Amino acid sequence: MGVAQALPGRGSGVRLDVAAATFLGTITVPKTRRAYAAGLDRLVSEFGCRR
């Protein structure tokens, strides 16, 4: 088995929904963008976004 490691330092203050939208904006193929969006939308809804 592998060893789990913590992420270094604190987050940069970027919200998950903004990061997901920015990432999706870099994907030009519509089918691929839809597939990634489905997973990212679920991730954002599960973890929520604090404003």
Contact present, 36 and 24 (Cβ < 8 Å): yes
Query: Does 2 reside within a domain?
Result: no
Would you say residue 1 lies in a domain?
Answer: no
Both structure tokens of 5: 């490691």
pTM attached to this predicted model: 0.67
Is 39 inside a domain boundary?
yes
**Total domain count, the chain:** 1
- Top pLDDT among 14 and 45 is at 45
Element (H, E) at 48: none
Domain that holds residue 36: 16-47
**CA-to-CA distance for 29 and 1, rounded, in angstroms?**
37
Burial (0-12, 13-18, 19+ Cβ within 10 Å), 27:
middle
Query: Which pLDDT score is estimated for 3?
Result: 79
Q: Flag whether 6 is in a domain.
A: no
